[in-house]
Amino acid sequence: MPIESLVADLKPTTLREDIATLLTEAILTGKLKPGDRLNESALARQWQVSRAPIREALQQLEERGLVVNRPRRGMFVVSLDEEEVQKINSLRLVLEAEALRLCRARATPQILRRLQQLADRMERASGSPAVEATQLDLEFHRTIWAGSGNEYLERTLAGLTAPLFAYALLTKPKAEKMRMILDSHRPLVDYVAGKLKRSADDVIFDHIRLRWSEPDRFASRRLGGE
């Protein structure tokens, strides 16, 4: 008997998880847009299951910040305002920098190659629809998060940025801006490769600023006067 089937049985799959995955996909590929209402019965019919696993999956996504629950009114795909984007990004800055440092310290040739490969694909994807660019972008960052070797950091960043990527799908940058955004991943590769003298803080700040205009740069340190 192949080992895989035994290993697979160690983590039995449940409908709840499958549906949580499907819903996450749908949100991160723009099939469900911020503000959309998520009707439990409709989703249950759509996937031929009862409402229980749908509800549970939705609540899982709620906890991850992808949907918001208005009690007795329903679940809605999370919709961020400018202030929320700013707050998430200012926190993301700190975490991404940490992930970058850890990833550089632990970088293997495999990881580096993967990052380079994704950066290459992004370069060729400048003209593609926002969905594909966002997918590549997400995949790139996930690679760094995973490369940090700290699953808690990985999970935290995934949860924190998920609504950002959903939000990003709504914006349609001009081709030129899109190219700049995608190109701005190169310095991250270089940093991980050890080719940059700049600090991780600097590198990630430039990257995020380019994408999301102006988060307060290290607001905490500056205001605090350290």
What is the smallest separation between the CB atom of 17 and DNA, expressed in angstroms? 8
Cβ proximity to its own copies, 23 vs 200, nearer residue: 200
What is the smallest separation between the CB atom of 201 and its own copies, expressed in angstroms? 9
Q: For residues 123 and 109, what is the distance between their CA atoms, to the nearest angstrom?
A: 21
What is the smallest separation between the CB atom of 34 and DNA, expressed in angstroms? 17
The single-letter DSSP state of residue 226 is: -
What is the smallest separation between the CB atom of 95 and its own copies, expressed in angstroms? 7
* CA dist 25 → 18, 28, 113, 209, 211 (Å): 11, 5, 26, 26, 22
What is the smallest separation between the CB atom of 117 and DNA, expressed in angstroms? 36
Cβ proximity to DNA, 61 vs 133, nearer residue: 61
Could you give the angle at which helices 40-47 and 15-28 cross, rounded to 10 degrees? 110
CB 85 within 8 A of CB 167: yes
CB 16 within 8 A of CB 25: no
List interacting residues with DNA (CB under 7 A): 9, 12, 14-16, 37-42, 48-53, 55-56, 69, 71-75
Amino acid letter, 191: Y
If phi > 0 it is left, if psi is from -120 to 50 it is alpha, else beta; for residue 60 that is alpha
Residue 41 partner contact from its own copies, DNA, none using kind-dependent CB cut-offs of 5 to 8 Å: DNA
What is the smallest separation between the CB atom of 39 and its own copies, expressed in angstroms? 18
Cβ proximity to its own copies, 3 vs 223, nearer residue: 223
Residue 95 partner contact from its own copies, DNA, none using kind-dependent CB cut-offs of 5 to 8 Å: its own copies
61: burial class by Cβ within 10 Å (0-12, 13-18, 19+)?
buried
Q: For residues 28 and 67, what is the distance between their CA atoms, to the nearest angstrom?
A: 12
Cβ proximity to its own copies, 136 vs 201, nearer residue: 201
Residue 38 partner contact from DNA, its own copies, none using kind-dependent CB cut-offs of 5 to 8 Å: DNA
List interacting residues with its own copies (CB under 8 A): 11-14, 16, 52, 55-56, 59-60, 63-64, 71-72, 87-88, 90-91, 94-95, 98, 101-102, 104-106, 150-153, 156, 160, 199-200, 219-221, 223-224, 226
